[in-house]
Every structure is written in structure tokens, then in C-alpha cells.
């Protein structure tokens, strides 16, 4: 999860009708082999013949030459007799041409049942979002107490949730293309904002919203090896910019809006740069601005069984004229993680694109 971007996440199993698995594969880093090729290679390495076998693939095999040759051709060359596909690929260079190429070669092609298709699409919700909406799937993670506080009034927040919830949060970080935070969080908490609680072969890019380039060059976020840091501000020149660039940051200018950078323009820019899933871990101000602009597709909220009293809010939102004006969300998933509760919520219909 999270290593194939900007390509979709694809898994493939090559097997027989009697249930024997000949090979498994998953798409590797961009430019590396796709899931079908990995699965076929695994079958060959195990000494299995693939002639007449079935391939189960979560996403339509590609039919074009990009960084790698067409996967549909690899399946045909391997003698695969049947391909079961979880979901069609919305990318214009594929979008049905992979299935057509297989059928033209005499391969039986079946679409998976509705449950498998839904799971396959959910696996690639960020890819589908970027291709079909020209914006990444934006997930906002918040850890809070029962009374909705993310920290004490003085900012202390370690730790509101337990170890299991924190490890689970790192798993969500790992699946993201990029993490987004604000300069306020960087200055107040000096976080690394990396994947630490579990192993990963690739750290997600860190995106910092920093209108006036207030990120300290000595911030701990620069200590993460082989991790890209993109800083977006209204001005990205001068001595501050030079100091941040010297630490390895890439600085990009965005138009100003409402006292900060234009967040809608930022989301569009990240989609253009191949970000499929954007994982937000920020403070109340940036959280509120993203929510108020309707730029958040999913809330990932960990609720700890604690009462804090006066403290920091989850999001700084403008006052409502009436309760009926409150934004409507629905629960997608609710489950216990250790001693805490994890809630996944979305605006109604948000995933229907």
C-alpha cells in the first residue's frame, strides 16, 4: 500500500479452477513491474506452467506502453485462458482497451461480483478520484477525547489515544501518497510526520502549507531520510526560501486566498503531481479551512475514552446560523482499536464518481 503511486494499487493471483495458487503479485513502485507480471514470474519461479490458468486481477490489465509493456500482452503470452477483473480502469489510456485486447486474443474475460468490485474500487479510491475528479481523495485524521478535544489548552496532546490507535494511524499514513500539515503544527509540535510504527519501503511525501515560510530549517521533519518535502506558500523567495531549500525542501508558490494559500488550488496542484490519497494531520485552523471549503472526502477520527475539559478543538469552523445548516456526514466504519474507537465518516455520496 502506498508504494505504487501514481499508479493504482493492483493485486493479481494466477491459479487453477481447483483452487491451486500458482503465483501472486502486486504492483511495485512506478516504473517497476505490474501485479500481473510479478504473479506470472512467481508462478514460473515455482516451476508452474501457466497455460490454461486463470488470473484474478483487482483492476483491468493495461494495454498500452508506458513505463512498462502492456500487462494484457503478458497474460496472453503466458497462455492465461481466463481473466477475472475486479474493476475497469478509468485511466484514458486503458478504460476498456485492456479487456478488449484480452478478448481479441481469445481470453475469456469476466467481471467480478459486486462485492469484489466494490472492494477493488475502494482499494483504489484515490486513483479513481484523481483520474475522474482531478483531485486526490482527501482523508483527515484526528485523535480526540470523548468531549472532542485534541489537546489540553496549553497544546499538550501526548498521548490522547493508546498505542494500538497510534499504530493504526501509521498504517493509514503508509497507504497515503502524501501527508499534509500546516506550519502551525510544525512550529508548535515539531513533528517528524513519518511512518514509524510499522515497516515501509517508501515514506509518503510531506506537504506543508506555509503561507509566509515560517517553517524552521531545523525542524525535525527534515530528519526523515529519502522523504520529499514540498512547502507551499504565497511567496517562495528570499533568505527563508533559500534556507529551506538548503534542507532539501521543494518550494512552490500558490495564489493567496483568505489570508493563506488557496487550498483548492493546492488540492488541484497535488492531483496534477500524481497524488492519489492525501492524508491530513493538521491543527484546528487548517482542518477547519479544509472542511469549510468542502475539500475533505473522509474523516478518520480516533476517539479516546477520556474527558479533557477546556482544550484544543478538532477544527476551527465558522458559526452556523441554524442547526439545520450543519454539514451531513455518514459513518462508513466504526470499530474498536485497542482501548479507543475508530470512526470513518464521509459526506453522503462523496465516493460516487
CB atoms within 10 A of CB 216: 16
Cβ-count burial of 281 within 10 angstroms (0-12 exposed, 13-18 middle, 19+ buried)?
buried
CB atoms within 10 A of CB 239: 8
The grid cell for 15 is: 491459479
Terminal CA-CA length for the chain:
22
Is the preceding omega at residue 159 within 30 degrees of 0, hence cis? yes
The grid cell for 220 is: 525535525
Contacts of residues 328-332 at CB distance under 8 Å and 24 or more positions apart, as own/partner, are: 329/299, 332/298
| DSSP letter string, 281-326 | ---HHHHHHHHHTT---EEEEEEES----SEEES---PPPSSGGGS
Query: Looking up cell 487550498, which residue turns up?
Result: 263
Contact 91, 120 (CB under 8 A): no
Structural Rg of the chain based on CA atoms: 22
Catalytic residue annotation: 36
Looking at residue 156, what DSSP letter applies? Answer: -
Helix (H, G, I), strand (E, B) or coil at 20: coil
DSSP H or E stretch at residue 104: helix 97-104
How far apart CA 204 and CA 209 sit, in angstroms, is: 16
Amino acid at each position: 500500500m502506498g508504494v505504487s503511486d501514481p499508479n493504482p494499487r493492483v493485486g493479481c493471483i494466477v491459479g487453477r479452477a481447483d483452487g491451486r495458487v500458482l503465483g501472486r503479485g502486486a504492483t511495485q513502485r512506478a516504473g517497476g513491474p505490474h501485479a500481473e507480471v510479478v504473479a506470472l514470474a512467481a508462478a514460473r519461479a515455482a516451476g508452474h506452467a501457466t497455460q490454461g490458468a486463470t488470473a484474478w486481477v483487482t483492476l483491468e490489465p493495461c494495454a498500452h506502453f508506458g513505463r512498462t509493456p502492456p500487462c494484457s500482452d503478458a497474460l496472453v503470452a503466458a497462455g492465461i485462458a481466463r481473466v477475472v477483473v475486479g474493476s475497469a480502469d478509468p485511466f484514458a489510456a486503458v478504460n476498456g482497451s485492456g479487456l478488449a485486447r484480452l478478448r481479441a486474443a481469445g481470453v475469456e474475460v469476466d467481471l467480478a461480483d459486486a462485492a469484489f468490485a466494490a472492494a477493488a474500487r475502494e482499494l483504489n479510491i484515490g486513483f479513481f478520484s484523481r483520474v475522474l475528479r482531478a483531485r486526490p481523495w482527501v482523508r483527515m485524521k484526528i485523535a480526540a477525547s470523548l468531549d472532542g478535544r485534541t489537546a489540553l489548552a496549553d497544546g499538550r496532546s501526548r498521548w490522547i489515544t493508546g498505542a494500538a490507535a497510534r499504530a493504526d494511524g501509521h498504517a493509514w499514513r503508509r497507504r497515503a501518497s502524501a501527508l499534509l500539515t500546516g506550519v502551525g503544527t510544525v512550529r508548535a509540535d515539531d513533528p517528524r510526520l513519518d511512518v514509524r510504527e510499522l515497516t515501509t519501503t517508501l515514506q509518503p511525501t510531506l506537504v506543508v502549507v506555509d503561507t509566509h515560510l515560517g517553517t524552521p530549517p531545523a525542524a525535525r521533519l527534515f530528519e526523515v531520510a529519502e522523504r520529499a518535502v514540498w512547502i507551499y506558500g504565497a511567496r517562495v523567495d528570499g533568505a527563508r526560501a533559500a534556507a529551506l531549500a538548503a534542507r532539501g525542501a521543494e518550494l512552490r508558490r500558490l495564489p493567496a486566498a483568505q489570508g493563506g494559500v488557496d487550498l483548492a488550488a493546492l488540492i488541484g496542484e497535488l492531483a496534477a503531481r500524481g497524488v492519489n490519497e492525501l492524508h491530513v494531520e493538521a491543527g484546528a485552523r487548517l482542518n477547519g479551512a479544509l472542511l469549510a471549503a468542502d475539500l475533505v472526502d473522509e474523516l478518520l477520527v480516533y476517539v479516546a475514552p477520556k474527558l479533557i475539559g477546556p482544550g484544543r478543538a478538532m477544527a476551527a469552523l465558522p458559526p452556523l446560523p441554524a442547526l439545520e445548516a450543519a454539514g451531513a456526514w455518514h459513518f462508513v466504519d466504526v470499530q474498536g482499536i485497542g482501548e479507543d474507537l475508530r470512526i470513518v465518516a464521509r459526506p453522503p455520496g462523496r465516493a460516487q464518481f
